[in-house]
C-alpha cells in the first residue's frame, strides 16, 4: 500500500499518462481498504446535482484524457503553462470520477507525480505542496471543482494550483540561505 512518505519512481510519460497506470495507482493506495480498489465504478453517481461520467464511458474517456494531457506536456514552457495544465487535467479527472471512493486523493497524487515527471523529463524545478492547504483553501478548491464541472471554467482551479505549485528548494539553495 502506498503511503504519503513513500518515494515512488516516476514512470515515463508514456506509462504515467495511461488509464492502466491511473487504475493501478488507485489499487496501490486503497487495496487494504476497499475490495474494489483499482476498479472502475459500475454505478452512476453525482454530487451536489452534478452527474459524473457514466460507467460505460469511463475507461475510454479516462484513456483519451490522459493521452491528451500527456501530449500537452511538450507544449509546457512556463509556470503559467503548468498551472493551466494542472487545472485542465484535474477538471477532466474530477468529472470522470472513475472510482466509487478515493477520486480526489488519486487525482491529487497523479498530479503530484505529473509535476515530478515534468521536472524529470522537461527540466522544470517545481513541486505541488499541499501542506499549506487549510480549511478555507480546501473549501475554495471544492468550489472551484464544482465551477469546473458545471461551467467548464477552470480559472478558479488554476488560481488554486498557482498557490500550491512551489519551486523546489535544492540542497545548495537551502545551505546558502542558512
Residue-wise pLDDT tens digits, 62-120: 999 999 999 999 899 999 999 999 999 999 999 999 999 999 999 999 999 999 999 99
Angle at alpha carbon of residue 80, lines to 177 and 15, rounded to 5°: 95
How far apart (Å, rounded) are the C-alpha atoms in residues 86 and 115? 9
The CATH number assigned to the domain with range 13-42+51-177 reads 1.10.3290.10
pTM over 0.75: yes
Q: Which among 6, 17, 1, 2 has a CA at the least distance from the CA of 117?
A: 17
Amino acid at each position: 500500500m502506498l503511503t504519503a512518505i513513500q518515494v515512488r519512481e516516476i514512470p515515463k510519460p508514456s506509462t504515467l499518462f495511461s488509464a492502466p497506470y491511473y487504475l493501478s495507482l488507485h489499487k496501490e493506495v486503497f487495496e487494504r481498504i476497499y475490495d474494489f480498489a483499482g476498479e472502475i465504478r459500475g454505478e452512476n453517481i453525482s454530487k451536489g446535482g452534478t452527474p459524473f461520467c457514466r460507467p460505460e464511458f469511463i475507461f475510454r474517456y479516462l484513456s483519451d484524457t490522459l493521452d491528451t494531457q500527456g501530449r500537452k506536456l511538450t507544449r509546457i514552457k512556463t509556470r503559467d503553462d503548468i498551472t493551466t495544465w494542472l487545472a485542465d487535467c484535474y477538471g477532466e479527472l474530477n468529472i470522470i470520477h472513475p472510482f466509487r471512493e478515493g477520486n480526489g486523493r488519486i487525482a491529487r497524487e497523479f498530479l503530484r507525480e505529473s509535476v515530478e515527471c515534468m521536472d524529470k523529463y522537461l527540466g522544470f524545478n517545481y513541486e505541488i505542496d499541499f501542506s499549506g492547504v487549510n480549511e478555507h483553501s480546501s473549501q475554495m478548491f471544492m468550489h472551484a471543482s464544482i465551477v469546473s464541472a458545471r461551467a467548464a471554467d477552470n480559472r478558479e482551479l488554476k488560481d488554486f494550483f498557482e498557490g500550491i505549485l512551489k519551486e523546489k528548494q535544492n540542497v545548495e539553495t537551502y545551505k546558502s540561505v542558512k
